[in-house]
A and B are shown apart, each in its own frame.
Chain A
């Protein structure tokens, strides 16, 4: 074997410049609890400013709160996976991530069908168009603070595969937001819920992916610059 090179001057300088003691990051599951704190706050804000869905008496509390609990739980699992993905050597296996994503999608579809079965909801002229954009935008707005929070938690660690972490985090936030928004939107027609609420989840997922891509590109560029400097 060839000799192992000694630490470069650049490396020594970097270490000497910043040797403050650091605290170990908490486990992904514990950091996920920080994101979980957003859920009761979002519920309170949605109920306060948007109001409870008007068909609540027909639905009954299990069908009002049940879907929220289910989607929030699966959303938080996805957030925890994103946070695990952002710690070296803690990344979940691809199968685990896909299983969690699949379960969340199934939960979303199931809650849409069950809610429709439990209540006809408010009837609108053209369910494919009426209120669609409004619901889509509001659901995205509900999810944005959580997306920001999850992004901060991910970046605070060291996302090695930032695109995957971003996608998982974005999807997790999307399902969280959809669960919370379920407390407000009284339209149960599938032609409204599937495309518009589904699109909000998708957009938040894509936003997470895009943030991950931007982060990764930036890291790659910085590293390429350092390597180019060293090889000069």
Chain B
């Protein structure tokens, strides 16, 4: 908990330095958060190459709208909300062009796995079960259990209340466990 707070304070300090025009702060911020954001984008797109493109796009947006980060507020929900919007815009644009991005199982990229269910099956099975969850539950589950956001922060990213985020994440975990038990039997 203390670690998380310290990490959040460090991110906030980087963000403030970046807003003040420090290029190194941008590089450091990128180094700190690009990995988790890429994992999140992979879980949304289920396409490793596309997720990398969207990661660059996310940071372009971050740069463009860096003034919208309010000092004193947490950095991570702000970043994830931007990443999520980049994904949604991309999905809508792809939908309009008639491109569908559903992938075959063997193409599933390496997406983060919640520690709660890691022991129930091997990583591959967990990832495939994750892919079967309804997107809104998968997202809430990943943001809370893997990315470490509080339910309040998950709600802020998804534009729902903290209570709704908690329910989605909880149902996601229950459903994931059921899927994995089903596979095991």
* A158 CB → nearest B CB, Å: 4
* A84 CB → nearest B CB, Å: 10
Complex CA gap A108/B108 in Å reads: 52
Complex CA gap A158/B53 in Å reads: 20
Contacts of A14 in B (CB 8 A): 60, 63-64
Kindly identify, within residues 178 to 199 of chain A, every residue whose CB is under 8 Å from any CB belonging to chain B: none
Q: Which of B38, B61, B161 contacts A158 (CB 8 A)?
A: B61
Complex CA gap A62/B117 in Å reads: 62
Contacts of B52 in A (CB 8 A): 5
Chain A contact patch, size range: 35 or more
A22 touching B81, Cβ below 8 Å: no
Flag the segment in B3-11, B151-159, B167-175 that touches A.
Answer: B151-159
Complex CA gap A112/B173 in Å reads: 50
Contacts of B160 in A (CB 8 A): 93-94
With an 8 A cutoff between CB atoms, is B35 at the interface?
A: yes
Does more than half of chain B's interface fall in helix, strand or loop, or is it mixed?
helix
Since A1-B39, A88-B81, A227-B54 are in contact, a sample of 4 more A-B pairs with Cβ atoms closer than 8 Å, ordered by chain A residue number, is A4-B35, A4-B55, A93-B155, A216-B89
A24 touching B70, Cβ below 8 Å: yes
A89 touching B78, Cβ below 8 Å: yes
B156 touching A91, Cβ below 8 Å: yes
B86 touching A230, Cβ below 8 Å: no
Does more than half of chain A's interface fall in helix, strand or loop, or is it mixed?
loop
With an 8 A cutoff between CB atoms, is A126 at the interface?
A: no
With an 8 A cutoff between CB atoms, is A160 at the interface?
A: yes
* B148 CB → nearest A CB, Å: 15
A220 touching B89, Cβ below 8 Å: yes
Complex CA gap A229/B20 in Å reads: 31
With an 8 A cutoff between CB atoms, is A19 at the interface?
A: yes
Complex CA gap A83/B21 in Å reads: 25
Kindly identify, within residues 43 to 60 of chain B, every residue whose CB is under 8 Å from any CB belonging to chain A: 48, 52-57, 59-60
B20 touching A21, Cβ below 8 Å: yes
* B183 CB → nearest A CB, Å: 23
Contact mask for chain A residues 14-31; partner B; CB cutoff 8 A; 1 contact, 0 none: 111011111111010000
A19 touching B23, Cβ below 8 Å: yes
Contacts of B57 in A (CB 8 A): 223, 226-227
